[in-house]
């Protein structure tokens, strides 16, 4: 068996692994990258990229029919579902070179397209090759979690792994799971002409601010999406050419029938056949166990991305990659913190959040929390664009420090960046009121909320008396 030795061995070429491999190699570390499946991982091939491309097609179709502009009439769009899917593949192909074997070899990374398995804590086997490394990085990602429901046939369901390969438009798509993936796929398929039912055992988007979720729920129902929330799935049948999902709510049994079933009920880590036991790397069903520096029980082995029990977002994986590279290359005790973690559900309007929700903030700070909010309907740009549905909600601590923010608006994912900075840098609303923002933009609702916080003090009686007294002073 041939043998090679490296400074860093990265297992998994998804978002997390690619970022570590690129950073380590460019800093002069001899790096090997191993991937048994597709370069770019889930995000490029079956996650963020195709889902957002599908949502873009859905938004375009929706705008054809519902312009919202007086004097401009629309008409029902002609949707070629197969052509849309070809378009998704085109988008993936455009981005793929950035994640390709050729690019990483050009960066000086040795790339192996094969399965890796630990032989012991210091070596792995890749095909007929034995590799040793001073440091290992596990970034093998996650896969769709499929719940154990009586009658569910895994061979007859859709997940994010295969839904983007579907060439024919579903007549009626039933979605199990009301998290971001379920909501996004519901909006996309409804706007492309499918009937859609979302089945959720709790409420949709349970980690977001409830009142903003309420507004989005009303919008989704207004577009004809059926939301079956707080229900128990008792069983599933797969009759020829369709699916029947049997539900129970408040003691009453009923069923939902559809043509296709999409399971979007969470993710589970992938570390099968990796030989973690041989390496002495601790793990549980939620993922590989790591400390704040993302080190496993073997301190020279790091793990990051979806394979650990941490926020499973591509941007979180990229952030974690920076932590790992600092530990690997500079021997700095960098640690991961998620206080300023943002997330976005790319519905229409989008729902974006960063930091603490109101409920979490009141729990942590013993109720000493203040809320400022501004509806989008009062924003001039929203009025001109005919997009009045939405709101910004800011969660504040003492001295008006920004603890969290949520935005329901078109392009909320773009608008949340300002509030990511505010939360991460522990800014107060004074920093926001001092900004000069372009007019007219929807982002001005943030400054409006900040200004509203200071209005009672600025225009209060004490300030009025001070201003009056200052008028008696001579000019200066």
Q: If DSSP states are collapsed to H, E and C, what string results for 20-60? A: HHHHHHHCCCCEEEECCCCCCHHHHHHCHHHHHHHHHHHHH
Q: Is 473 exposed, middle or buried (0-12, 13-18, 19+ CB in 10 A)?
A: exposed
The answer to whether 2-39+100-144+268-330 and 154-265 have equal CATH topology is yes
Give me the residue label for tokens 């309907």: 377
Superfamily of domain 342-457: FAD/NAD-linked reductase, C-terminal dimerisation domain (3.30.390.30)
Kind plus residue range of the DSSP H or E element containing 103: helix 101-106
Residues 244-247: contacts with CB under 8 Å, at least 24 apart: 245/174, 245/176, 245/199, 247/199
Spatial distance between the Cα atoms of 83 and 28, rounded to a whole number of angstroms: 44
Binding residues: 52, 140-142, 177-184, 200, 266, 306
Options 3.30.1600.10, 1.20.1050.10, 3.30.420.40, 3.50.50.60; CATH of 2-39+100-144+268-330: 3.50.50.60
pLDDT at position 181 is 97
Of 228, 142, 155, the C-alpha closest to 186 is 228
Q: Name the residue ranges covered by the structural domains of the chain.
A: 2-39+100-144+268-330, 154-265, 342-457
Binding residues for NAD(+): 177-184, 200, 266
Grouping H, G, I as helix, E, B as strand and the rest as coil, residue 364 is helix
Global pTM value: 0.94
Tokens of 403: 């603890």
The class (CATH top level) of 154-265 is alpha beta
Phi first, then psi, for residue 350 (nearest 5°) are: -80, 155
pLDDT at position 217 is 98
Q: What is the mean pLDDT of each run of 10 residues along the chain (476 residues)?
A: 83 98 97 96 95 96 85 87 96 96 97 97 94 97 96 96 96 98 98 98 97 98 98 96 96 97 97 96 97 98 97 96 97 95 97 97 91 95 93 96 98 97 97 94 95 86 86 84
pLDDT at position 2 is 54
Binding residues for FAD: 52, 140-142, 306
Q: With beta carbons less than 8 A apart as the criterion, state whether 20 and 10 touch.
A: yes
């Amino acid at each position: 068996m041939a043998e090679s030795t490296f400074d860093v061995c990265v297992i998994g070429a998804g978002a997390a692994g690619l970022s570590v491999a690129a950073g380590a190699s460019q800093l002069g570390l001899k790096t090997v990258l191993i991937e048994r499946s597709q370069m770019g991982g889930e995000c490029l091939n079956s996650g963020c990229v195709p889902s957002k491309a599908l949502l873009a097609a859905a938004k375009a179709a929706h705008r054809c029919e519902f312009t919202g502009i007086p004097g401009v009439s629309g008409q029902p769009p002609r949707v070629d579902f197969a052509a849309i899917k070809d378009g998704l593949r085109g988008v993936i192909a455009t981005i793929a070179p950035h994640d390709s074997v050729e690019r990483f070899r050009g960066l000086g990374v040795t790339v192996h397209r094969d399965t890796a398995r630990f032989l012991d804590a210091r070596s792995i086997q890749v095909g007929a090759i034995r590799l040793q490394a001073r440091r290992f990085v596990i970034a093998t990602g996650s896969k769709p979690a499929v719940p154990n429901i009586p009658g569910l046939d895994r061979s007859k369901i859709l997940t994010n792994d295969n839904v983007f390969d579907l060439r024919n438009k579903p007549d009626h798509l039933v979605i199990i799971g009301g998290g971001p993936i379920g909501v996004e796929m519901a909006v996309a398929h409804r706007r492309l002409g499918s009937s859609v039912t979302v089945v959720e055992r709790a409420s949709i988007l349970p980690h977001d601010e409830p009142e903003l979720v309420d507004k989005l729920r009303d919008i989704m129902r207004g577009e004809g999406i059926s939301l079956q929330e707080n229900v128990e799935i008792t069983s599933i049948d797969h009759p020829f050419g369709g699916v029947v999902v049997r539900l129970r709510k408040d003691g009453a049994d009923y069923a939902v029938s559809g043509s296709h079933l999409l399971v979007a009920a969470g993710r589970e880590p992938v570390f099968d056949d990796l030989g973690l036991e041989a390496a002495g790397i601790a793990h549980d069903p939620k993922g590989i166990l790591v400390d704040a520096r993302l080190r496993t029980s073997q301190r020279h082995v790091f793990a990051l991305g979806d394979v650990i029990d941490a926020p499973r977002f591509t941007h979180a994986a990229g952030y974690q990659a920076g932590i790992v590279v600092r530990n690997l290359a500079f021997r700095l005790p960098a640690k991961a913190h998620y206080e300023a973690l943002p997330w976005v559900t790319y519905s229409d309007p989008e729902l974006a959040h960063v930091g603490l929700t109101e409920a979490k903030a009141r729990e942590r700070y013993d109720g000493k929390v203040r809320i400022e909010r501004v509806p989008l309907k009062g924003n001039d740009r929203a009025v001109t664009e005919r997009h009045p549905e939405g709101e910004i909600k800011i969660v504040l601590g003492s001295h008006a420090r920004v603890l969290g923010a949520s935005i329901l608006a078109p392009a909320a994912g773009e608008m949340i960046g300002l509030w990511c900075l505010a939360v991460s840098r522990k800014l107060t609303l004074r920093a926001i009121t001092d900004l000069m923002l372009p007019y007219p933009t929807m982002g001005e609702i943030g400054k409006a909320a900040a200004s509203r916080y200071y209005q009672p003090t600025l225009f209060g009686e004490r300030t009025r008396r001070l201003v009056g007294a200052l008028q008696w002073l001579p000019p200066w």
